[in-house]
Amino acid sequence: MFIGHFAPALLARGITEDAPKLGVLFIAAQLVDWAFFTFAIFGIEQLRIVPGITAMNPYDLVFMPYSHSLLATAGWALVFGVVVGVVLRNMVAAAWGVIVVLSHWLLDLLVHRPDLTIAGGEDKHGLGLWNTPHIEMPLEIGLVLLAYWFYISRTKGPVIPPLILLGAMLLFQAINWFGPQPETAGVGMYLSVFLSYGILTAMAFWVQSTRWHKNQRGLAVAG
């Protein structure tokens, strides 16, 4: 799953103005992937390209207990929540940060082949929807569109910036699905992933600067 991970970020920001800003939540949504690809660059975790290993992509996620085990994801979520709580001095925002980080593992559980662990070890989990594109693709797009609609319905501001963000998300997802697949895993591939995450996150920060929650009040909010 790629842009589907951003759905919880959009939902959280739509639910309450106490949630962190959208850009921060976009970081939370992909935090464990940022960790995984950083670890992969240094050989701490491992990804191989195995054509045909799933119907939708060739990724053999060989070793990733420090980023993608449930225990590790909970650890990343806790650290993220503490940082948000300290910076914003808002425990509700911290809790939403924790929830969005944790959502990554649950969404991965739907699509991954059995390569996810609870706390490392040999027991691996994954429902494998990457092998059923006719289910995974509409599910991912549907999650994003519903979350996007909810976010737009719960916030005010110009419509163009969030439409550009949505268009970029759909474009990146189309490239991920239908573009040429990498032949080998390596630093170039990992940096391209960072670039895509970085662009979408930067756009989310831009969008958040143009919109406010409908429940927000005060002199700083336009009428």
**Amino acid letter, residue 49:** I
The answer on pLDDT for 105 being more than 90 is yes
Residue 204 lies in a domain: yes
User: Is 185 part of a structural domain of the chain?
Assistant: yes
DSSP 47: E
**Burial of 215 from C-beta contacts in 10 A (0-12 / 13-18 / 19+):** exposed
Q: Helix (H, G, I), strand (E, B), or coil: what is residue 114?
A: coil
Burial of 77 by CB count in 10 Å (0-12 exposed, 13-18 middle, 19+ buried)? buried
Residues 91-119: what's their mean pLDDT? 97
Q: What is the average pLDDT across 216-221? A: 51
Please indicate, yes or no, if residue 109 is contained in any of the structural domains.
Answer: yes
Of the candidates 163, 133, 130, the one whose C-alpha atom is nearest the C-alpha of residue 54 is 130
Instruction: Determine the Cα–Cα distance for residues 223 and 219; give it in Å rounded to an integer.
Output: 9
Asked if residue 218 is part of any domain, the answer here is no
Q: pLDDT band for position 121 (50/70/90)?
A: confident
Question: What does the alpha-carbon distance between residue 185 and residue 72 come to, in Å, rounded to a whole number?
Answer: 23
Cβ atoms of residues 144 and 6 within 8 Å = yes
Euclidean distance between CA atoms 40 and 47, whole angstroms = 7
Question: Is the pLDDT reported for residue 144 higher than 50?
Answer: yes
- Return the pLDDT at 56: 96
In a domain, 222, yes or no: no
Work out the percent of the chain whose per-residue pLDDT is above 90. Answer: 93
Q: Does residue 220 carry a pLDDT above 50?
A: no
Residue 74 belongs to some domain of the structure: yes
Give the integer Cα–Cα distance in Å for 3 and 9: 11
Q: What is the mean pLDDT of the chain?
A: 95
How far apart CA 33 and CA 66 sit, in angstroms, is: 11
The answer for 43, left when phi > 0, alpha when psi is -120 to 50, beta otherwise, is left
Q: pLDDT tens digits for 160-188? A: 999 999 999 999 999 999 999 999 999 99
Question: What is the domain range of residue 115?
Answer: 3-213
Question: Which H/E stretch holds residue 198?
Answer: helix 187-208
Average pLDDT of span 144-159: 97
Looking at residue 221, what is its pLDDT?
A: 46
- Say yes or no to pLDDT of 215 above 90: no
Place of tokens 């995974």: 136
Task: Report the pLDDT value the prediction gives residue 72, as an integer from 0 to 100.
Answer: 98
Residue 221 lies in a domain: no
In-domain check, residue 153:
yes
pLDDT reported for residue 217: 57
| Selected residue with higher pLDDT from 164 and 221 | 164
Average pLDDT over residues 206-212: 95
**Total number of domains constituting the chain:** 1
**pLDDT tens digits for 72-83?**
999 999 999 999
Q: Give the pLDDT confidence of 16-70 residue by residue, as tens digits.
A: 999 999 999 999 999 999 999 999 999 999 999 999 999 999 999 999 999 999 9
